[in-house]
Amino acid sequence: MSVVEKAFLGSIMKAEYLLKDTVVQPEQLESERHKELMRRMVELNQAGNNVDLLTLTTLPDLESFGGMSYLSELLSFADIEKFEGMEKLILNQWKEREKRNILTLAAMNDWEIAKVIAQLDKINQMKMKDHISLQQALSNIYDAPWEDRITLKAASTGIKKLDEVTGGFQDGEVTILAARPSMGKTDVMLHFAKMTGWAGFLPLVFSLEMPEKLITTRLIASTGGFNRAKMRDPKKFLNEKQKDKWSDVIGDLSVTHMQIFDRAGQTIAEIRAKTRKMISISLQETHSFY
């Protein structure tokens, strides 16, 4: 059976939040066993149950999926950081199978070329949800001058003038902070991160160069108004007034719930995987309060 499909299902068992995020449907898997197993995963998830090894072992027809040993085998193939690549491979394999099926049917039933091309185009366009006609886009916004504007929740940058120009950080926007070396980009970015954290958002900082300890000391220095040079030895260089302020600064920063990932060489796929995981954890913690 496809190793890619095993790794795909094993990754979902290891990190069930991936099930809601994936674009792959059960029918797009090649193995009938894998198709049915993913359908059961979807059913469990929709019913509010966990999708993990322990829960799956309670399925009444567990043996039809290979039993406990096969589920454990799937879990051993899990690789969350490569999940996005698995999705692409599975979808590409599914498209190739569908194309072969169409060509076989076309040959058996003597389809016209136009029909064959139309059917192949349908396969190529599957899961393409990034298209909208300009007419539709204009129709969606046509009544804007006469409707009350829906206030979108934005995260303040912490800089009033910048908020007036940009409206703060908006959902779906990408903001790039650029400047020459040693101009303070990192300090500005960390300022943005802690401000969004204080506003109730979850700031994730991915650092490919600067280690966590240096990021943390910069945050403390900027929040407490301490000279950064003094952070090399706080006991020696901070005065008594600054030391009295230290615990308050630590407390204020902890409320941001900022998460720092400082491993060098992090790839885009790894960053996406870590982000997915943090979102899932954050949602679980939020629901636990209700």
Domain ranges of the chain: 3-125, 176-287
Q: What is the per-residue pLDDT across 189-239, written as a single tens digit (0 to 9) for each?
A: 999 999 999 999 999 999 998 999 999 999 999 999 999 999 999 999 999
Please provide the average confidence, as pLDDT, over all residues in the chain: 88
Residue at 224: amino acid letter: G
223 or 281, which is more confident: 223
CATH number 3.40.50.300 is the correct assignment for the domain at 176-287: yes
Say what the pLDDT of residue 128 is: 43
Say what the pLDDT of residue 234 is: 94
- The listed CATH number (3.20.20.70, 1.10.10.10, 3.20.20.100, 1.10.860.10) that belongs to domain 3-125: 1.10.860.10
pTM > 0.85: yes or no: no
CA distance 138 to 38: 39
Residue 139 has pLDDT above 60, yes or no: yes
Say what the pLDDT of residue 261 is: 95
Say what the pLDDT of residue 154 is: 80
Sign of CA pseudo-dihedral 134, 135, 140, 141: positive
Say what the pLDDT of residue 1 is: 56
Say what the pLDDT of residue 290 is: 42
Listed ranges 99-103, 171-175, 263-267; the one with the highest mean pLDDT: 99-103
